[in-house]
Amino acid sequence: MNVNEWLRMLYQATDDRVYISRLEILEQSASLIKARLYISHDLFVQIYRNDRFDTTNMVLVYSNKRIYARDQLNGVWHRHPMSDPDLHDKSSAGQQPTDLAQFLDEVEAVLATMNLP
């Protein structure tokens, strides 16, 4: 997926998911996008996509700390699990390609487990 597809998915997620209060585009160019989907003041999903380096990062941040993430570097995915967000889970489950909708489904499960809004 390229930057234009990510941008379309970000706007779609903002429309489809009622718990997302706003979309903020932090940086955008022809080959890069960095954006935040705010859930509350200190709880958000940050998305970074760089087409030039084939890099994607999706992270759930709460109180300025990563609590869950999925990253793709040079076509290879890994996960930062809720139980240990600093760990690089490269298991078969951790390496599953993930799009924004799938990641947001995972975020919803993390939020429910942590009893967050």
81 neighbors 103 (Cβ within 8 angstroms): no
Averaged confidence pLDDT in the chain: 96
* pTM listed for this prediction: 0.94
Q: What was the pLDDT predicted at 74?
A: 86
pLDDT tens for residues 95-104?
999 999 999 9
Q: What was the pLDDT predicted at 52?
A: 93
Q: What was the pLDDT predicted at 75?
A: 86
Where in the chain are the domains? 3-114
38 neighbors 21 (Cβ within 8 angstroms): yes
Q: What is the DSSP letter of 91?
A: S
pLDDT mean for each 10 residues of the chain (117 residues): 93 95 97 97 97 95 97 94 95 95 97 94
To the nearest 10 degrees (0 to 180), the angle between helices 100-114 and 3-16 is 40
